Structure 1
Amino acid sequence: MINLNKTLEEVKDWAREVGEIQKDNFGKQDLKISSKTTEIDLVTEVDEMSEKYIIDRIRERYPEHGILSEEAGKDKENTEYMWIIDPLDGTINYAQGLPIFAISIALQYKKETVLGVVYLPMLDEMFQAIKGEGAYLNGKRLKVNDRRDLRYCVLATGFPYDRAEDDDNNVNYFSNFVPKVKGIRRMGAAAYDLANVAAGRLDGYWELKLSIWDIAAASLMIEEAGGKIKYIPNKREHSIVAGNKDICNKIYDEINNLSYEEDLTTFS
């Protein structure tokens, strides 16, 4: 197995270098933007530049490894090591000139995430984790919040890109949670939301229809910070709940109970 501590330092350097590309182009008036699956599922030229930079570094340093990236897809099958990349998580924020966006890089070994980095260029916040060695933010060890009562929790969530076309769009769950918690935040970058759960800044998180590159790095951070990730059954792609064990289970139960009640209504 490769030396993960050495690799982590390389990945942090790549993230900072990509962060400079993103900062240099932030607020650019003639930024090239196109859409993917829907009109609000955007990709910019900076997403593509960032992705190319990271992929080039991986191929130079680890040519035998596989890579799965948001824009480029997967380039190898049946490799022990697989890099999972979201070069610019929060593209809508970036295109709007909102300074909350992240670079997320994870490394899996035999399909298990063993290393993760989430970097916020505009905030200069470097979240990092190695499996079994804890999670850190700018050198400070992270621990999930220990709240147990949803009434005192601040949660985060988001909404899928196809929310106008598919009724399973999180609006019902959001409405259910609003009167039951202290607050809900929607920051527009799933990797950052999850990293903030690991840091104890947020008490919990849920979202539907995420992709593996949204969650791979930050999910490891939550686990290394003493938290828990649960997958919501019978949902599309990666639909998850996160928090400390108690809050994760309570969010999960709220969603499951609401789904069950809806099913009874539908088929009665």
Structure 2
Amino acid sequence: MNANQPDSVIGGKSFTAVAVNCAAKAGEWIKSKSGTITQLDTKYSAQDLVTEVDKGAERMIRNLIATHFPDHAFLGEEGVEPGPKASATALAKVSGAEYLWIVDPVDGTTNYVHGFPFYSVSIALAYRGEVIVGVVYDPSRDELFVAERGKGAYVHGRKMSISAEEKLAESLIATGFPPDPQVALPANLANIRHIAPKVRNLRVAGSAALHLAYVAAGRLSGFWEHNLSAWDVAAGSLLVQEAGGRMSDFGGEPYHLAVRNVLATNGRVHDELSRELQASAST
């Protein structure tokens, strides 16, 4: 941490330890509820699902954080109305908070509902708008990805580092299918058509937070997705940066919490992928 950033503890309580504890407890509960969904609702579109497990996990996380840090602000997906405008408005309302917890209780709800084991709990803490703690937990594999600004990124307690690919043609890249069928989805299908022939292969697994964790762990060379919200990205952004990677918007401008079109890479293929994303948008 530099002089402008807080210590990693307040009143003897570690931010990172609280985030890890919340992710682990919520993840264990989420996994225990797998296959028991009794109520399934849609939000922004038919592809944007929410369950009672999402809502219950967010309440659990929020209550646990409030126990330790009652004065901190909280931004969770399930407490915000559906749609990109509502997401941007909700973030703006809490953007002045000194400490802001940013939570997606189940990133990959569609996977969870279908029993596809690629979903995660994403918890980040921002200090004056900058993410200082990021935790992504995969209950299916019991993999915990943790980053603290200035102290590296870790999985299973081992330090992570980004992949070594130097060219897009050598790269394994991930993306996602946005739940907006009118604008974002067609735009991303155009990206895919343009980029797929230029990379080693593409993956679309359905959890932005886990995709970002995989970039940090060197399992993916890069990831892009349209129209993401802060809770999808905040924790993973710090994992990528602390592992030596690069986060930006599609045009290469540095990532911040309000960025919605997100590009994350090992850094080595970043400019090339950014150029291809921009080229695909203009064709």
TM-score with structure 1 setting the length: 0.91
TM-aligned CA deviation for residue 220 of structure 1: 0.5
* Cα deviation 1:23-76 (Å, max 9, x = unaligned): 111011x43110111111110000001000000011111111000110113585
Match for 1:180: what amino acid?
Answer: K
Give the paired residue count. Answer: 259
1:185-200 alignment runs, 5 A limit = 185-200=203-218
Q: Counterpart of 1:66?
A: 73
Contact 2:226 2:262 in 1 (8 A): yes
* Cα deviation 1:182-227 (Å, max 9, x = unaligned): 1111010000000000000001111111011100001011110110
The one of 44, 50, 59 equivalent to 1:43 is: 50
Contact 1:156 1:204 in 2 (8 A): yes
Contact 1:160 1:169 in 2 (8 A): no
CA–CA distance in 1 between the matches of 2:95 and 2:260? 21
CA–CA distance in 2 between the matches of 1:166 and 1:108? 27
Q: Counterpart of 1:9?
A: 17
Q: Counterpart of 1:254?
A: 276
Contact 2:145 2:154 in 1 (8 A): yes
CA–CA distance in 2 between the matches of 1:36 and 1:237? 21
Task: Tell me the C-alpha RMSD between the 2 structures.
Answer: 1.9
Q: What secondary structure sits across from 1:107 in the alignment?
A: strand
Structure 1 residue ranges, 4+ long, deviating more than 4 angstroms after superposition: 74-77, 164-168
Q: Counterpart of 2:85?
A: none
The one of 237, 248, 252 equivalent to 1:230 is: 248
CA–CA distance in 2 between the matches of 1:142 and 1:218? 13
Q: Which structure 2 residue ranges, 5 or more long, are not aligned?
A: 1-5, 81-89, 252-257
Q: What secondary structure sits across from 2:103 in the alignment?
A: strand
Aligned CA distance change for structure 1 residues 76 and 182 (closer, same or farther; 3 Å): closer
Aligned CA distance change for structure 1 residues 223 and 176 (closer, same or farther; 3 Å): same
1:111-150 alignment runs, 5 A limit = 111-150=129-168
Q: Which structure 1 residue ranges, 5 or more long, are not aligned?
A: 263-268
Q: Counterpart of 1:103?
A: 121
Moved more, 148-157 or 242-251: 242-251
Q: What secondary structure sits across from 2:215 in the alignment?
A: helix
The one of 82, 87, 111 equivalent to 1:93 is: 111
Q: What secondary structure sits across from 1:147 in the alignment?
A: coil
Match for 1:96: what amino acid?
Answer: H
Aligned CA distance change for structure 1 residues 76 and 238 (closer, same or farther; 3 Å): closer
Contact 1:163 1:169 in 2 (8 A): no
Contact 1:228 1:248 in 2 (8 A): yes
CA–CA distance in 1 between the matches of 2:199 and 2:64? 43
Match for 1:3: what amino acid?
Answer: S
CA–CA distance in 1 between the matches of 2:18 and 2:229? 25
Contact 1:230 1:252 in 2 (8 A): no
* Cα deviation 1:86-112 (Å, max 9, x = unaligned): 000000000111111000000000100
Moved more, 8-17 or 97-106: 8-17
The one of 28, 47, 59 equivalent to 1:52 is: 59
Moved more, 106-115 or 156-165: 156-165
1:145-160 alignment runs, 5 A limit = 145-160=163-178
TM-aligned CA deviation for residue 79 of structure 1: 2.2
TM-aligned CA deviation for residue 246 of structure 1: 2.4
| Matched-pair identity in % | 37
Q: What secondary structure sits across from 2:133 in the alignment?
A: strand
CA–CA distance in 1 between the matches of 2:191 and 2:153? 30
Contact 1:66 1:77 in 2 (8 A): no
Match for 1:63: what amino acid?
Answer: P
Contact 1:210 1:238 in 2 (8 A): yes
Q: Is 1:207 the counterpart of 2:229 in the alignment?
A: no
TM-aligned CA deviation for residue 165 of structure 1: 5.6
